[in-house]
Amino acid sequence: MNALRHTISIVALGTFQLGRRMKSQHLHGLLLGTGLGLSTIASVTYAQAEAAKVSRKLNVSKFMAEPITDSAVLLSDQDNMRHRMELMIMEIQADFCRALESEEFNGQKFKVDRWLRKEGGGGVTCVLQDGDVFEKAGVNVSVVTGSLPPAAVQQMRSRGKDLAENVKLPFFASGVSAVIHPRNPHVPTIHFNYRYFEVELPDGSKQWWFGGGTDLTPYYLDESDARHFHKTLKSACDEHNTSYYPKFKKWCDDYFHIKHRNESRGIGGIFFDDIDEPNQEGAFKFVTSCARAVIPSYLPLVQKHKNADYGTKEREWQLLRRGRYVEFNLIYDRGTKFGLYTPGARYESILMSLPLHARWEYMHEPKATSKEGDLLMVLRNPKEWV
């Protein structure tokens, strides 16, 4: 009898606590509905408590939009790297967008476009256009699945991936990428991309790797800006391995080289691909540190220069350098090519990196002694900043 009283007390207490969270008429129906015994009441109480716990855990209002993967699925297996990466890049996107919005003078906001892809997955594209500070800013998250197209397989094989040709290779890819084109020529452009990739092999095993990087493209060289930018990225790298920054800085200088111009796109940063060491957890933490270093590396430069004076000469030079940016992205960039090769590609999101305005002049060459010439000298001869 005492055991029975104890059981009834536990159920009654659970019901009372539930009643504090529910409308009285709902609770009344629960208690007086036909055929409900103590065990049924207890199971309903538990199920609703669990549902409430799940809904409290994932606060989607902190993101720019709903995640692509269903929230319940994301929370059901929080050790799954696919899920961890999606939540991380959604957070990075939102933090960066809101940081940029805070720099605008008249409250310009990002347009948010959540899209789905019939082949699998989707994305969230955020674009701020014609702002007072940012002429065009794009921050994109994509979480896609499908089968690798032959061109993508060839590209990966050329990097040393052991992937068979002429067989179906399911893949998963997620990432966050951004390109920010400011209005003032004294504020540099920034680009970053952090991604995770899985390929399922014919035997059922998986290959996985991370990639990414952050790089800066100034229109006028400010050496203190360059040192701050590189020092911030170096600190993020050094938290995990002191060999990372020099290795990935050189990789960045080599990757963002515009071969037909024999000059770099900008003053570099870090770039890496095919990272699968020291292990999946360690690689994920490294990528997360790099992604979180973007705001402290860039926002101080925006705040420093966004009110600087400039004229027609500076604006035209900015547009000429943006022309070089377009050339690199359309001719050499692997991410752009992969996106364009992928069936069901969303071209608006892939090409969001392109500026609103750019300029080409025949045989243009600035004077070596000019400020424009100072920048060109560094672009043709990459240097160490820290």
Catalytic amino acids?
191
Please list the residues that pair with 190 across neighbouring strands: 180, 216
Residue type, 210: F
Helix (H) or strand (E) holding 227, with range, is helix 223-238
Residues in the chain: 386
- Characterize 250-273 residue by residue with b for buried, 16 or more Cβ atoms within 10 angstroms of its Cβ, and e for exposed: ebbbebbbbeeeebbbbbbbbbbb
Q: Cα–Cα distance between 92 and 176 in angstroms, integer?
A: 8
C-alpha 157: how far from chain center: 25
Tell me if residue 326 falls in helix, strand or coil. Answer: helix
Q: Is 367 exposed, middle or buried (0-12, 13-18, 19+ CB in 10 A)?
A: exposed
Token pair listed for 34: 């036909």
CA dihedral defined by 50, 56, 59, 65, rounded to 10 degrees? 40
Helix then strand then coil, in percent of the chain rounded to 5, is: 50, 20, 30
The answer to whether the CB of 109 falls within 8 A of the CB of 128 is yes
Tokens 């896609």: give the residue: 144
Q: Cα–Cα distance between 93 and 178 in angstroms, integer?
A: 9
Tell me if residue 138 falls in helix, strand or coil. Answer: strand
Token pair listed for 259: 């071969």
Tell me if residue 191 falls in helix, strand or coil. Answer: strand
- Strands 121-129, 206-217: pairing is unpaired
